[in-house]
Amino acid sequence: MSTMNLGDLEKGDLILVRWTDASDVKGTIAEHEARPDIHVKDWGLYLGVSGKKRRFLLIGKDVVEVQNEWGVTRIPLELIEEVVVLMPREQVIRCIAEIQILARRIRTRRYRRERIA
């Protein structure tokens, strides 16, 4: 395992990302003032960085084999504290064949929000 800069990552690397998110914890005002954030670890396959106005790191969590459609976590770059490579692409590719096509544009699954009347 080694800590990496985003520029050193290769699509398909298995990574662990430590980042800070807003909390949704119930507590007293004093508790919220003291610790308004929460520390998160996400791991999965590095799929790249996307976005124009705001930039997000994309981590692949699963893939639909037939459609090559990826489920992803999107993490705002400014909230990332550390990125650790758990396993390089060359080792991961032996287990997950879909990584071979990550040089091309990938499709991410989109979720639709239902409007509540």
Parse the chain into domains and list their residue ranges.
Answer: 2-108
108 has pLDDT over 60: yes
Contact criterion met (CB below 8 Å) for 45 and 100: no
23: buried, middle or exposed (CB in 10 Å: 19+, 13-18, 0-12)? middle
> What's the pTM value of the predicted model, to 2 decimals?
0.75
Radius of gyration of the chain (CA): 17
| Cβ contacts of 51 within 8 Å, gap of 6 or more | none
Q: How far apart are the first and last CA of the chain?
A: 49
Q: Give the pLDDT mean for 33-55.
A: 87
- Position 15 scores a pLDDT of 96
8 has pLDDT over 80: yes
